[in-house]
């Protein structure tokens, strides 16, 4: 049963879903994931009234929760079947983690900033989803213990594709990662075919830098 606070935002959540539909999101599973994910749980209380605007919002520690349309675009590109094991690099607020839990079989998510991870852990629990595992660490190393992954989603921009992430992609698996400079990137989709990696450019994006040993070092 939805809480009174959840009901308070129900109309706003449905309006956001309609806005995403109007902007070209046609994957019904993605739209349903947004309908079932209370974004107000994943932002500071001071900006909760803006939680269902299609805009990025600050979440502390110099980080933001991405614009919903960016999440929706990312997720629609994957064409989830519901059976995937997913690695998410950059838990952030935990919002996309919960969207993924509605779309995939298992979600493993890595975050390097401890206070963000703890906030995300609390919000994910409040959202009531399962099949999510969280790790504090350098996301550019991936999470080798649970590899290989059918899908790897990287929520920050790297100067190049981290080799450990390529190694942890399953045969036939797909990765989305923004690659470029700190100011300007292109979204790259990588598909593993045996020991080869096919890469396709999907257009310009702008993300915070991916910090870590195999990304930006400062």
Query: 169-180 and 185-193 as β-strands: parallel, antiparallel, unpaired?
Result: antiparallel
User: Is residue 191 packed enough to be buried (19+ CB in 10 Å), middle (13-18) or exposed (0-12)?
Assistant: middle
Q: Measured between alpha carbons, how far is residue 6 from residues 3, 37, 130, 146 in Å?
A: 5, 10, 19, 34
Angle at 196 between CA 195 and CA 197, to 5 degrees: 130
Q: Is the CB of residue 162 less than 8 Å from the CB of residue 197?
A: no
Check the CA dihedral 194-199-205-208 and report its sign. Answer: positive
**Residue 41 and residue 6: Cα distance in Å, rounded?**
9
Among candidate residues 66, 93, 109, 158, the one labeled active-site is: 66
Whether 83 is catalytic is no
Catalogue the active-site residues. Answer: 66
């Amino acid at each position: 049963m939805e809480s009174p606070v959840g009901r308070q935002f129900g109309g706003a959540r449905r309006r956001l879903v309609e806005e995403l539909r109007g902007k070209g999101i046609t994957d019904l599973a993605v739209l349903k994931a947004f309908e079932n994910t209370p974004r107000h749980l994943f932002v500071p209380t001071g900006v909760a009234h803006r939680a269902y605007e299609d805009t990025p919002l600050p979440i502390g520690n110099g980080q933001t929760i991405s614009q919903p349309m960016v999440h929706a675009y990312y997720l629609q590109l994957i064409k989830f079947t519901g059976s995937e094991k997913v690695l998410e690099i950059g838990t952030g607020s935990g919002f996309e983690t919960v969207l993924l839990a509605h779309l995939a079989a298992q979600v493993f998510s890595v975050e390097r900033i401890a206070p963000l991870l703890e906030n995300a852990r609390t919000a994910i629990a409040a959202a009531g989803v399962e099949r999510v595992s969280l790790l504090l660490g350098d996301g550019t190393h991936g999470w080798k213990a649970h590899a290989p992954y059918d899908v790897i989603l990287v929520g920050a921009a790297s100067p190049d594709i981290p080799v450990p992430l390529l190694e942890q992609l399953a045969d036939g698996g797909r990765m989305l990662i923004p690659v470029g400079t700190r100011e300007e990137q292109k979204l790259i989709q990588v598909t593993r075919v045996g020991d080869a990696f096919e890469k396709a450019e999907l257009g310009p994006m702008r993300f915070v830098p991916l910090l870590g040993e195999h990304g930006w070092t400062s």
